[in-house]
């Protein structure tokens, strides 16, 4: 259903580092990086890909206050959810909810919830 999505970041480079580091265990990598225009005042746009395919998650500069967003990245198994959690702990990232099963969503829903540098609630989930 979703082809791609993007969020705004106060510091695109810092957010790109967050996503590259914390979500590496599920195969998310930086695919493209380019300036928003010429000159030193230009912002930065960064696109990320999963294990295959074109970039489908984008970071771009914000031009005002941001509102909290929530989105989830798919994991290939509980071990990958746990690996994202460990990467977040190693990077000093705020963990909103440690990995656990969330039966109120559906049986086998195993997820970790994190806070990104702009305050977004980012989840990694496996639907077991």
Closest CA to 46 of 64, 30, 63, 69: 30
d(CA 114, CA 116): 6
- Which pTM value belongs to this model? 0.91
Domain region containing 120: 5-127
Q: How many domains does the chain fold into? A: 1
Q: In this structure, what CATH number is given to the domain that contains residue 111? A: 3.10.180.10
- pLDDT per residue rounded down to tens, the chain (128 residues): 688 999 999 999 999 999 999 999 999 999 999 998 888 778 899 999 999 889 999 999 987 777 889 999 999 999 999 999 999 999 999 999 999 999 999 999 999 999 999 999 999 999 99
Q: Take residue 35 and report the two structure tokens written for it.
A: 């300036």
pLDDT of residue 60: 93
Q: In whole angstroms, what is the distance from residue 25 CA to residue 63 CA?
A: 31
pLDDT value, residue 3: 82
**Strand 5-9 relative to strand 57-61: parallel, antiparallel, unpaired?**
parallel
């Amino acid at each position: 259903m979703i082809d791609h999505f993007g969020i705004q970041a106060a510091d695109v480079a810092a957010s790109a580092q967050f996503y590259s580091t914390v979500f590496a265990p599920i195969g998310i990598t930086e695919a493209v990086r380019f300036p928003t225009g010429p000159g030193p005042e230009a912002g930065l746009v960064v696109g990320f890909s999963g294990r295959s395919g074109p970039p489908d998650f984008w970071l771009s500069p914000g031009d005002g206050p941001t509102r909290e967003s929530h989105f989830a990245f798919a994991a290939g198994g509980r071990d990958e959810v746990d690996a994202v959690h460990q990467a977040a702990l190693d990077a000093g990232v705020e963990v909103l909810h440690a990995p656990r099963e969330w039966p109120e969503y559906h049986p086998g829903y195993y997820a970790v919830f994190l806070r990104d540098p702009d305050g977004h609630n980012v989840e990694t989930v496996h639907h077991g």
